Chain A
């Protein structure tokens, strides 16, 4: 069953409602021992990098997640800040990330912007897949997804970029490595595209 990991970082209900609507079994997990029965994981996210990492560490979830994802290869989807913590570290904070995908989180560089607004990157933007992947099946790429962020995931290896989005520069809006997936946008707030993506993840 899919576990939505609740570390006090928003949007649990919205993701749950989509799964309910699509008849996909899920549960919300707050404690490490609850994760034992998870066959897939979702790391939701609204908030700051350090706060999110601190909560994962304090609750004992980090250790458990490391075991599930790295050793038992349970597929995991990180959303927004839940995606950013997949990296090694972030310019937004001091703590280390989970380090499951080789990359760093950086602030969107607005120095070459010729338009307003600058940051945050807020609103609906299109996505461009670099690889064919079941996760992106049936997605209206032009319509894209809802973004709300000031920092972005900078991959060290191009092969980890699933899709890109243009905002001033092109950045990785979706990343992946083996069983680890991360989306900078909010599928749970992106209407039919978001439902499609979450269903795709459930089918992986």
Chain B
């Protein structure tokens, strides 16, 4: 039987791994390759690596880093950050990543999703939507540039458009829940799950295995991603890369 995917999400900032809170105050948590090696040993389901700087700095993805990461990963790797063209996507897949994530470029030009899907196959094109509640009524809106630029896009409508363009998976990243470790935004997850048939992964807010279980119980086959949960331990948030053991996961999925 197909199982839900439990996915550590790593943020790269100035070549190091960091963890943010509400997309702000990046705290250094270690070296990317070293983290991958540990996650290999822990046999994680998948890995997402997002480069925070590429788009903001207006530069290309760091292909050398991607190559090194992909070669090290014994689990599927999704890379995102600064992907602006079909050529970028092709290069990243050819370097050994299974999935390439696009965000701001898809918002500026949704047909880029279709073009990338044509080049590397639908299953390898992932869209990451950074979503924040806005205004008096807490309406959801898609943001870009690490949560600093509003796009005016409604995440539900945009998810439907992305599916129409041939996206293989949608990662919903809640800016409000990021790093808070108080649970996922269930409402946002449900909103997108109901809108599309492609696989979705929800990210932002996981603080415990119970939070993962809660969302899996509710949605069944879904990707659940987390940053803080898998890089911090204890109430003082000591940096310690961790991941539930297979028995713990099996118990959780029962």
Contact = CB atoms under 8 A, between A and B. Distances in A.
A17 to B, nearest CB: 6
Interface in B1-40: 1-5, 40
Interface string A11-51: 11110111000000000000000000000000000111001
B93 A10 contact: yes
Interface stretch (B53-61, B135-143, B191-199, B227-235): B191-199
Contact of B74 (A9, A47, A194): A194
Given A10-B96, A13-B96, A47-B93, A122 B124 contact: no
B75 interface: yes
Given A14-B71, A46-B93, A146 B122 contact: no
Contact of A124 (B5, B119, B168, B199): B5
A118 interface: yes
A110 to B, nearest CB: 7
Contacts of B43: 191-192
Given A46-B120, A47-B121, A120-B123, A189 B94 contact: no
Contacts of A155: none
A191 B43 CA distance: 6
Nearest to A166: B1
B96 A121 contact: no
A12 B220 CA distance: 33
Interface string A42-79: 00001110010000000000000000000000000000
Contacts of B164: none
B45 interface: yes
Contacts of A16: 71
Interface string B69-107: 011111111000000000000000111111100000000
A81 interface: yes
B217 interface: no
Given A46-B120, A47-B121, A123 B71 contact: no
A157 B173 CA distance: 45
A143 interface: yes
B121 A14 contact: no
A122 B169 contact: yes
Interchain residue pairs A-B with the least CB separation, the first 3: A120-B123, A13-B71, A117-B199
